[in-house]
Amino acid sequence: CLGVFFVDYVDGCLGVFYLFQGLGVFFVDYVDGCLGVFYLFQCLGVFFVDYVGGCLGVFYLFQCLRVFFVDYVDGCLGVFYLFQCLGVFFVDYVGGCLGVFYLFQCLRVFFVDYVGGCLGVFYLFQCLGVFFVDYVDGCLGVFYLFQCLGVFFVDYVDGCLGVFYLFQCLGVFFVDYVGGCLGVFYLFQCLGK
């Protein structure tokens, strides 16, 4: 309908995949059977995933006024910013809504399941880390991230950030959102409190 799918298979691997859907553009470039560059321009958001050496190099997500920055260095999570609530994730459009998007890349598995136009379950197994995002009624239910020695716990209640726990190395980040605003922010990092 409003979308155009272009799939070019080269040597049995996905060469270039263009999806012009509404205001969004999906660009997936596979090089040597691995994901080279993935661009997603959706509404006011831009997704940038750059795989280097079969590992996630830099992932930029500019969605609405929110920025997700995930920097993987040596297979470990460098910095992860999550500003979600009014954010919308779009990957694969089927009938204007995301049906199911599977990405098996090297040792990583991306699982995105949209149900009723909302994110159902998103699993990401990255090295020693596991990302678990459970959307209930269009809101983020539970987000678990076990990455190296760190654990990210984000619990969204009533569409707002309930509790965000980050156990990373010797530091603990605690962010409690109440009424859509930042209630309490604790940072225990190394010897700082």
Q: Given this model, what pLDDT does residue 80 score?
A: 30
Amino acid letter for position 38: F
Q: Given this model, what pLDDT does residue 145 score?
A: 34
Amino acid letter for position 184: V
Instruction: Read off the pTM.
Output: 0.21
pLDDT digit string (tens) for the chain, length 193 residues = 223 333 333 333 333 333 333 333 333 333 333 333 333 333 223 333 333 333 333 333 333 223 333 333 223 232 232 222 222 232 322 222 222 233 222 223 333 333 333 333 333 333 223 333 333 333 333 333 333 223 333 333 333 333 344 333 323 333 433 333 333 333 333 334 3
Q: In what side-by-side order are the strands of the sheet with 150-157?
A: 100-105, 108-115, 118-126, 129-136, 139-147, 150-157, 160-168, 171-178, 181-188
SS3 55: strand
Phi, psi (degrees; rounded to nearest 5) at 184: -135, 135
